């Protein structure tokens, strides 16, 4: 009887070591996944911010130029605003598909 219990002790120790090792691996995989996702989002945020500053500056320039061509400065800003109004309507029409695509991308990145 004692030999059976003597063999169970080392078995439980190995099971404990195995579960601790699996938990460590899971922890490191989670850290890797989160750092991959965060680095991607942070780099995209920096890129997006830079692009937005560029687009804003370009819009002001184009608006002033169009305003000069049309004879009234405010008219150039109205034309550029109208172009963005059309863009907003188009984005509203494709919002659901865009949202689903972004959602699928996030899920696939987290599962891989």
Please report which confidence band the pLDDT of residue 6 belongs to, taking 50, 70 and 90 as the band edges: low
Give the integer Cα–Cα distance in Å for 2 and 6.
6
Parse the chain into domains and list their residue ranges. 2-111
Token pair for residue 32? 């890797």
C-alpha distances in angstroms, 17 versus 5, 25, 27? 19, 12, 15
pLDDT tens digits along 12-69: 889 999 999 999 999 998 898 889 888 988 999 999 999 999 999 999 999 999 999 9
pLDDT tier for residue 72 given thresholds of 50, 70 and 90: very high
Rounded to two decimals, the pTM is 0.58
């Amino acid at each position: 009887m004692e030999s059976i219990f003597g063999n169970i002790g080392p078995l439980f120790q190995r099971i404990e070591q195995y579960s601790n090792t699996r938990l460590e691996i899971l922890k490191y995989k989670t850290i890797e996944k989160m750092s991959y996702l965060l680095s991607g989002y942070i780099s995209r945020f920096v890129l997006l911010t830079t692009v937005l500053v560029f687009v804003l500056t370009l819009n002001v320039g184009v608006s002033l130029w169009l305003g000069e061509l049309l004879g009234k400065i405010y008219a150039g800003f109205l034309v550029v605003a109208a172009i963005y109004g059309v863009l907003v309507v188009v984005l509203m029409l494709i919002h659901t598909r865009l949202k689903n695509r972004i959602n699928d991308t996030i899920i696939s990145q987290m599962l891989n």
